[in-house]
Amino acid sequence: MTGGVVVRDLSADLGGRPVLSEVALTVAPGEWLAVIGPNGAGKTTLLRAMSGLLAARGEVLVDGTPVRGLPPRRRARLMAYAPQTPVLPPGLTVYEYALLGRTPYIAYLGREGPRDREVTWSVLERLDLAGLAARPLGQLSGGERQRVVLARALVQQAPVLLLDEPTTALDLGHQQHVLELVDRLRLADGLTVVTTIHDVGLAGQYADSMLLLAGGRPVASGPAARVLTEPLLSRHFAARVAVTPGADGRPQVSLVRPAHSPGPVS
């Protein structure tokens, strides 16, 4: 299986300030790593640095190949990145935008072929977007836009998928649908997934392993049960939480109201 990711000593500065410091991680082919951390911890910066969109120091290897020095087309065949808030050209249709994921496979100044159209349609169908294929991006809801961005990344058919907050704008049903779909692709096609995700409980249900970032540095990593602990979550998120083992043994995280909170509104 392909798609093993190794990151060594990855550091990046933004606005003259270090925002990512010496991050190391390993994801085996076909595994799912969830990157969690409080606002501003450096999660997006980590994915952008891994994808090569942001200048950084350190190494990112996919199956032993350093990806950050590769020409964009070759890099895009190894790693697909779905950003959290991309700029979407409002006049482009959903289909045209998703088809852009095929760019690394289409010859320069060439046109897409039947295989490119077939892959694009199949992803749109799997993401419940086929009915919106002809809709301009400027006329979509936030959740529809988010699924379109994911569609473009899946259409790219890279062995490594980097997803920045893929579920934030989605309703409950679509959150589940998208995460289940990513999980099925991972199991069926051996995709390696690295995702940032704010809902740490949800992250713990899907990921094989987790990385907790705080202040741009890794502070805990490993299986969900090692990272989703009450001491770590309360310290780094400044939140009161309860962590209990779920039916499948994975930790369930819930917020606990402080004792002085007013009772229910009557």
Ligand X SMILES: Nc1ncnc2c1ncn2[C@@H]1O[C@H](COP(=O)(O)OP(=O)(O)OP(=O)(O)O)[C@@H](O)[C@H]1O
Q: How far apart are CA 136 and CA 124, in angstroms?
A: 14
Q: Which two tokens stand for residue 252?
A: 């369930």
Least separation, in Å, of the C-beta of 74 and ligand X? Answer: 26
Find the shortest distance in angstroms from Cβ 161 to ligand X. 17
Coil, strand or helix: which one is 151?
helix
How far apart are the C-alpha atoms of 233 and 105, rounded to whole Å? 43
Label residues 36-51 b or e (16+ Cβ within 10 Å = b): bbbeebbbbbbbbbbb
Least distance from ligand X to the Cβ atom of residue 98, Å = 25
Give least dist CB 235 to ligand X, A.
16
Residue closer to ligand X, measured from CB, 103 or 175: 175
Q: Which is nearer to ligand X, 49 or 179 (CB)?
A: 49
The token pair at 264 is 């229910």
The CA-to-CA distance between both ends of the chain, in Å, stands at 57
What are phi and psi for residue 20, nearest 5 degrees?
-140, 125
SS3 letters for 40-73?
Answer: CCCHHHHHHHHHCCCCCEEEEEECCEECCCCCHH
Closer to ligand X by CB, 14 or 181: give it: 14
- CA distances (Å), 176 to each of 44, 104, 180, 184, in order? 22, 30, 6, 12
Summarize as ranges the residues that interact with ligand X (CB under 6 A): 14-15, 19, 37, 39-45
Which residues does residue 193 pair with via DSSP β-bridges, in sequence order? 32, 161
CB of 203 to ligand X, least distance (A): 13
Minimum Å distance from CB 44 to ligand X? 3
Which lies closer to ligand X via its Cβ, residue 35 or residue 243? 35
Query: In the complex, what is the shortest distance from the CB of residue 211 to ligand X, in angstroms, rounded to a whole number?
Result: 12
CA geometry: angle at 194 spanning 207 and 81, to 5°?
145
Nearer to ligand X, 3 or 216 (CB): 216
Toward ligand X, which CB reaches closer, 102 or 145? 145
CA separation for the pair 210, 204 (Å, rounded): 8
Q: Would you say 177 or 217 has its CB closer to ligand X?
A: 217
Q: Which residue is nearest to ligand X (CB)?
A: 15
